[in-house]
C-alpha cells in the first residue's frame, strides 16, 4: 500500500502541469476559473493545443491518437487539467462519441470521424434525452424508419448541450417498434446540416445558452451512418455511460475552486480584516476539503480496482463518485456565494460586467457578479449524467442487491 | 395564543393577494414588468398605492391606516407568492420604518403623504464595500457645516436606488470605521447634486445600484433622530427588513412547494408518476417541514419585531433569519432537483422562485452572521 506517486508519476504530473500553465492561454483559463461561459473558439483553441501535443484523447486506442497511459497517469492528467482551469477536451467528442466509435464503429467510419473529432474539426453533441425520456431514457420515441439506403428520422431531442455549435449529433433512435423498450434502439450519426433539423435554444436559469431542443422532421440519414448493429444501440449507450465516468467526480475542478476561494477570501474584507481571518468560514472550507480528500482516495481505489478504464459494464462504484463529487462541486459554489456576501445580488449588464462595482480590492470585485450564476448553474451537476436519485438506485441495486 | 387574522387583516390579505395575482398572471408578464426602465411599470406602483398599502407603516396622525407587523407580513407574503418586482420592501419596510421610528413629526408630515400616495419611493443605503453585514461598519462620512451637513462616501447594492426619490443613508459623523457610536441616518434626495447612481439588475429579477456621494450638501433637518446615535434606529430598520423578508420567503416557498408537488403528480417516467417513488415523496415532505418551520419563524418575527426589549428582539430576529435562510436554501435546491432538467430553465417559474430564495438568504445577514449574533448572546437564544 502506498498512496504516494512514484518519481515517474511525479515527473509526469509536473510535465502536464507545466504544459497547461504555459501553453493554454491565460484568458481562457481565467474564464474557466471564474465560471464564466466559454466561446466555441475558446474550447476549440484549447483542444487543438492539447491535440497537437497528443493529449486531447489519451484514453482512446493508440491507433487513433490514444496514449498507453496507466490509470494513474490518466487520473493525474485529468486532475491537472482541472486544477489549471484548462477546459477539458470537448466531452461529447472525446469521452462519449470517440470511445463508442473506436469500439463499435466500422473502420471507414473511424477513419472518417475520429481524427476530426480529436482535433475538434467536427463538434459533436449528444442526442439522448427527450421531453418524455429523461431518467427513463429507454422510453425514447424519436423514430428512424428505413427507406432504401436511408433512415427517415422524426422526433425531438432535448437538453442538447452546446448543440448550437454542433456539426454532428449522435442520437439514440427507435428502429424496432415492437421490441421491448431497450431492444429496439439504434445509435445513429446525423449531420446537423441535414434538411429537416431545427435547433431551438433553451436558456438556463442563470441566463446562458447552454442547452437546446433539436427537432427532426423527416430527416434523411444515410444507412452507413449507423454505428454497429441495428437495435443494439442500448448496449453502446451503456458503454458510453460507463466511459462518462472518466473524471466524473471532478475532484480537480473542486480543488481549483477551493484554491480560488481561499485566494479571494484573503482579499475580501470582513470585520476588521478579511474573510480568511474568520475561523468559522475557514472551518467550512476545511469541511469541504476533508470530504474532497476522502473522495480523492475513493476515486483512486475505484480506478485501481479497474485497471483498464474502458470495460463495457458501468461500475456501480462510479455512481458513488458521481453523487459525492457533484455534491462537492455544488458545495464549492455555495462557499463562493457566501464569500460574495451582499454583493452576490449584483448581476452584470449584458456582456459588460456590473457598472459601478468597487474596484479597490487587489483582485477587484469583478468576480462577485459571477458567484450566483455559478451557484445556480451548478445545480445541474446533480441532475445530468444520470441524476443523483438514479445513481442511488444504481448503488442500491448493483452493490447492495436491494 | 391566537394565530388568527382579524377582519381587517383578512380583507387586506385578500385584496393584496387579488391585486398581485392580477398583475402577475404569468412568468412572461413578470419578465415584461422587470424590463420596464425602472425595473417595474409605474402603473403597477400606483395600483399598490391605491390599495393603501403604503399607508400601513404610518399612524393615523400621519394620514393613514396604522398597520403593524402582521399587516406588513400579509403584504410581503403576497409579494413572495407572486414574485412581485415592484420595490415594495425598500419603500414600505425600510424607508418608511426609518421615517416612522426616527423621523420627527415635521419630517413625517413632510414625506409620509407622498409615500402613502405612491408619489415618493424610498430606499435604504447602508451596505458598504467592506461592511458585509455589520451595520456599524460605516466609512461614509458626514461633516457639519453652518447650514447642515456635507456627505461623502459610497454605498453598495442599494436596493432599487434608481427608482427611489429619497434614500435613507447611514453615515458617520464621528469615531472610527467600526465604532458603534457616531453614526446617523440621513434623508438624501436622489437628485441632490453630488449623488451618482450606477444601477444594475439583480440576480433575482430586481434592481440595485452602487451609489456615490461627493460633497452632497444636506440641510440640518435631514438627520433622522440623533445624528451620532443612529445605530439603534438602523438596527430596528433592518429587523423590520428581516421580518418582511421572512414573510416574502414564506410566500415564495409556498408557491415553489406547490409547483413541485404538482410536478411530482404529473411527470411520468418508468410508466408512473414520479411522485410514486418513495424516495421523492420523502423529499417533498422534508420540503414541507422546512416551509412550516419557516412559517412559524415569520410569525415569530411579526410578534417580536415591535418588542421593547432590544436584546431579546435582536436575538429573535437573528434566529428568524437563520431559519429562513436555511429553508430558502434547502427547499429551493430540492425543488430544482425534483424537477430535473425543467427546473434549470429560465422558462420555468419555479427556477425564478429558487433564485429569489437564494438571494433572500444573502440579504440583511447570512446564516453565519446571524448565528454569531445568537452565540454572542450570553445564554444563546432560548434563555432570552
Ligand atoms: C444542463 C443540462 C445539460 C444536459 N445535457 C444533455 C445532453 O447534452 N444530452 C442529453 O441527451 N441529455 C442532456 N441532459 C439531460 C439529462 O440527462 C436529464 O436532465 C436527466 O437524465 C434527468 O432527466 P429529466 O430532466 O427528464 O428529469 P426526470 O427524469 O423527469 O426526473 C425528475 C426527478 O425525478 C427523479 N427520478 C426519476 N426517476 C426516478 C426513480 N426511479 N427513482 C427516484 N427518483 C427518480 C429524478 O432524479 C429527478 O429528481 C442535460 C440536462 C441538463 C440539466
* Domain range list for chain B: 7-121, 124-228, 232-383
Average pLDDT over residues A238-242: 85
Ligand 1 nearest atom to the CA of residue A389, by list position? 47
- What topology does CATH give the domain B232-383? Butyryl-CoA Dehydrogenase, subunit A; domain 3 (1.20.140)
Ligand 1 nearest atom to the CA of residue A385, by list position? 17
Other residues' Cβ atoms within 10 Å of the Cβ of residue B216: 23
For chain A, the straight-line distance linking the first and the last C-alpha, in angstroms and rounded, comes to 32
Contact A348 B340 (CB under 8 A): no
Contact A342 B133 (CB under 8 A): yes
Atom 12 (ligand 1): residue with closest C-alpha? A129
Distance CA A45, CA A55 (A): 14
Nearest to A379 among B137, B344, B362 (CB): B344
Q: Which residues of A100-125 are buried (b: 16+ CB within 10 A; e: fewer)?
A: bbbbbbeeebbebbbeebbbbebbbb
- A 192-211: CB under 8 A from B: 202-205, 207, 211
What is the reported pTM?
A: 0.96
Distance CA A29, CA A253 (A): 12
Whole-complex ipTM: 0.96
Query: What is residue B210's three-state secondary structure?
Result: strand
Determine the pLDDT at residue A325: 95
B227: which DSSP letter? T
Query: What is residue A65's three-state secondary structure?
Result: coil
Distance CA B298, CA B250 (A): 7
Nearest to B132 among A134, A270, A379 (CB): A270
Contact B345 A203 (CB under 8 A): yes
Distance CA A93, CA A244 (A): 11
Higher pLDDT, A31 or A287: A287
- A 27-66: CB under 8 A from B: none
What are B171's strand-pairing partners? B184
Q: Indicate if ligand 1 lies below 6 Å from the C-beta of A124.
A: no
Domains along chain A?
7-89 (1.10.540.10), 124-232 (2.40.110.10), 245-398 (1.20.140.10)
Q: How far is the CA of A207 from the centre of ligand 1 (A)?
A: 20
CATH class of the domain comprising B124-228? mainly beta
- Provide the residue-wise pLDDT of chain B in tens; the chain has 384 residues: 678 899 999 999 999 999 999 999 999 999 999 999 999 999 999 999 999 999 998 876 665 566 789 999 999 999 999 999 999 999 999 999 999 999 999 999 999 999 999 999 999 999 999 999 999 999 999 999 999 999 999 999 999 999 999 999 999 999 999 999 999 999 999 999 999 999 999 999 999 999 999 999 999 999 999 999 999 999 999 999 999 999 999 999 999 999 999 999 999 999 999 999 999 999 999 999 999 999 999 999 999 999 999 999 999 999 999 999 999 999 999 999 999 999 999 999 999 999 999 999 999 999 999 999 998 877 777 765
Nearest to A345 among B203, B268, B351 (CB): B203
Residues whose CB falls within 8 Å of the CB of residue B192, separated by 6 or more in sequence, listed in order = B216, B217, B218
Contact residues, chain A, for B343 at CB < 8 Å: 205, 379, 383
Nearest Cα of chain B lies from the Cα of A278 at a distance, in angstroms, of 10
Residues whose CB falls within 8 Å of the CB of residue B146, separated by 6 or more in sequence, listed in order = none
Report CA-CA distances (Å) from A86 to A79, A136, B348: 10, 33, 32
Q: pLDDT tens, A70-95?
A: 888 988 999 899 999 999 999 999 99
**Closest residue of B to A271, CA-based?**
B131
Whether chain B has a CB inside 8 Å of the CB on A341: the answer is: yes
A207: which DSSP letter? S
Q: Indicate if ligand 1 lies below 6 Å from the C-beta of A208.
A: no
Nearest Cα of chain A lies from the Cα of B210 at a distance, in angstroms, of 6
Ligand 1 nearest atom to the CA of residue B344, by list position? 53
- A 70-129: CB under 8 A from B: 129
Select from A234, A222, A226, A237 the least CA-distant residue to A109.
A226
Whether chain B has a CB inside 8 Å of the CB on A356: the answer is: yes
Select from A370, A347, A329 the least CA-distant residue to A36.
A370
> CATH number of the domain at B7-121, out of 3.90.79.10, 3.20.20.70, 3.40.50.720, 1.10.540.10?
1.10.540.10
Amino acid at each position: 500500500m502506498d498512496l504516494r506517486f512514484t518519481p515517474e508519476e511525479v515527473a509526469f504530473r509536473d510535465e502536464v502541469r507545466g504544459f497547461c500553465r504555459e501553453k493554454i492561454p491565460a484568458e481562457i483559463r481565467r474564464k474557466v476559473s471564474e465560471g464564466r461561459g466559454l466561446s466555441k473558439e475558446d474550447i476549440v483553441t484549447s483542444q487543438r493545443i492539447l491535440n497537437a501535443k497528443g493529449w486531447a484523447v489519451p484514453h482512446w486506442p493508440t491507433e487513433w491518437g490514444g496514449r498507453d497511459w496507466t490509470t494513474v497517469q490518466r487520473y493525474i492528467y485529468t486532475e491537472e487539467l482541472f486544477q489549471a482551469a484548462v477546459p477539458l477536451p470537448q466531452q461529447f467528442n472525446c469521452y462519449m462519441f470517440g470511445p463508442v466509435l473506436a469500439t463499435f464503429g466500422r473502420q471507414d467510419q473511424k477513419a472518417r470521424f475520429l481524427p476530426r473529432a480529436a482535433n475538434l474539426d467536427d463538434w459533436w453533441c449528444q442526442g439522448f434525452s427527450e421531453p418524455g425520456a429523461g431518467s427513463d431514457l429507454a422510453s425514447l420515441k424519436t423514430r428512424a424508419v428505413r427507406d432504401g439506403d436511408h433512415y427517415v428520422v422524426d422526433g425531438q431531442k432535448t437538453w442538447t448541450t452546446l448543440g448550437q455549435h454542433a456539426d454532428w449529433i449522435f442520437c439514440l433512435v427507435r428502429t424496432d417498434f415492437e421490441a421491448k423498450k431497450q431492444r429496439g434502439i439504434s445509435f445513429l450519426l446525423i449531420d446537423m446540416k441535414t434538411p429537416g433539423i431545427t435547433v431551438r435554444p433553451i436558456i438556463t436559469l442563470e441566463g446562458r445558452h447552454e442547452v437546446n431542443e433539436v427537432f427532426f422532421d423527416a430527416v434523411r440519414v444515410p444507412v452507413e451512418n449507423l454505428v454497429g448493429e441495428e437495435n443494439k444501440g442500448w448496449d453502446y449507450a451503456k458503454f458510453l455511460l460507463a466511459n462518462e465516468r472518466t473524471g466524473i467526480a471532478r475532484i480537480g475542478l473542486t480543488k481549483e475552486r477551493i484554491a480560488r476561494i481561499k485566494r479571494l477570501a484573503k482579499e475580501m474584507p470582513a470585520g476588521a480584516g478579511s474573510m480568511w481571518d474568520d475561523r468559522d468560514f475557514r472551518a467550512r472550507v476545511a469541511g469541504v476539503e476533508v470530504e474532497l480528500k476522502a473522495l480523492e482516495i475513493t476515486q483512486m481505489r475505484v480506478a485501481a480496482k479497474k485497471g483498464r478504464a474502458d470495460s463495457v459494464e458501468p461500475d456501480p462504484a462510479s455512481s458513488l463518485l458521481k453523487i459525492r463529487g457533484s455534491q462537492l462541486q455544488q458545495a464549492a459554489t455555495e462557499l463562493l456565494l457566501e464569500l460574495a456576501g451582499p454583493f452576490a445580488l449584483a448581476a452584470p449588464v449584458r456582456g459588460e460586467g456590473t457598472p459601478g462595482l468597487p474596484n479597490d480590492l487587489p483582485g477587484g470585485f469583478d468576480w462577485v457578479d459571477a458567484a450566483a450564476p455559478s451557484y445556480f448553474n451548478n445545480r445541474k451537476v446533480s441532475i445530468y449524467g444520470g441524476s443523483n436519485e438514479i445513481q442511488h438506485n444504481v448503488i442500491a441495486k448493483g452493490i447492495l442487491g436491494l | 395564543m391566537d394565530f388568527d387574522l382579524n377582519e381587517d387583516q383578512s380583507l387586506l390579505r385578500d385584496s393584496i393577494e387579488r391585486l398581485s395575482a392580477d398583475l402577475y398572471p404569468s412568468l412572461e408578464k413578470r419578465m415584461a414588468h422587470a424590463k420596464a426602465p425602472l425595473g417595474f411599470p409605474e402603473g403597477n406602483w400606483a395600483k399598490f398605492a391605491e390599495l393603501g398599502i403604503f399607508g400601513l407603516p404610518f399612524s393615523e396622525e400621519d394620514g393613514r391606516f396604522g398597520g403593524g407587523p402582521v399587516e406588513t407580513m400579509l403584504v410581503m407574503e403576497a409579494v413572495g407568492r407572486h414574485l412581485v418586482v415592484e420595490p415594495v420592501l425598500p419603500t414600505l419596510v425600510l424607508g418608511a420604518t426609518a421615517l416612522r421610528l426616527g423621523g420627527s413629526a415635521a419630517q413625517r408630515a413632510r414625506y409620509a403623504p407622498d409615500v402613502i400616495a405612491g408619489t415618493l419611493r424610498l430606499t435604504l443605503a447602508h451596505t458598504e464595500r467592506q461592511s458585509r453585514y455589520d451595520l456599524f461598519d460605516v466609512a461614509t462620512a458626514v461633516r457639519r457645516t453652518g447650514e447642515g451637513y456635507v456627505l461623502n462616501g459610497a454605498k453598495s447594492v442599494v436596493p432599487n436606488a434608481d427608482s427611489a426619490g429619497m434614500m435613507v443613508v447611514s453615515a458617520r459623523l464621528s469615531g472610527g470605521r467600526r465604532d458603534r457610536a457616531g453614526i446617523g441616518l440621513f434623508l438624501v434626495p436622489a437628485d441632490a447634486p453630488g449623488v451618482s447612481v450606477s444601477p444594475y439588475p439583480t440576480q433575482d429579477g430586481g434592481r440595485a445600484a452602487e451609489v456615490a456621494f461627493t460633497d452632497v450638501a444636506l440641510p440640518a433637518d435631514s438627520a433622522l433622530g440623533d445624528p451620532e446615535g443612529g445605530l439603534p434606529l438602523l438596527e430596528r430598520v433592518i429587523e423590520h427588513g428581516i421580518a418582511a423578508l421572512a414573510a416574502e420567503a414564506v410566500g415564495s416557498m409556498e408557491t415553489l412547494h406547490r409547483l413541485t408537488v404538482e410536478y411530482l403528480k404529473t411527470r411520468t417516467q418508468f410508466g408512473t408518476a414520479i411522485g410514486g417513488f418513495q424516495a421523492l415523496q420523502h423529499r417533498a415532505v422534508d420540503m414541507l417541514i422546512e416551509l412550516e418551520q419557516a412559517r412559524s419563524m415569520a410569525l415569530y418575527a411579526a410578534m417580536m419585531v415591535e418588542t421593547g426589549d432590544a436584546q431579546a428582539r435582536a436575538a429573535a430576529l437573528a434566529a428568524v433569519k437563520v431559519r429562513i435562510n436555511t429553508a430558502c436554501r434547502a427547499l429551493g435546491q430540492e425543488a430544482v432537483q425534483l424537477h430535473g432538467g425543467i427546473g434549470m430553465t429560465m422558462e420555468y417559474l419555479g427556477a425564478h422562485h429558487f433564485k429569489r430564495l437564494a438571494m433572500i438568504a444573502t440579504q440583511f445577514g447570512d446564516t453565519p452572521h446571524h448565528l454569531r449574533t445568537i452565540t454572542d448572546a450570553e445564554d444563546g437564544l432560548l434563555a432570552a
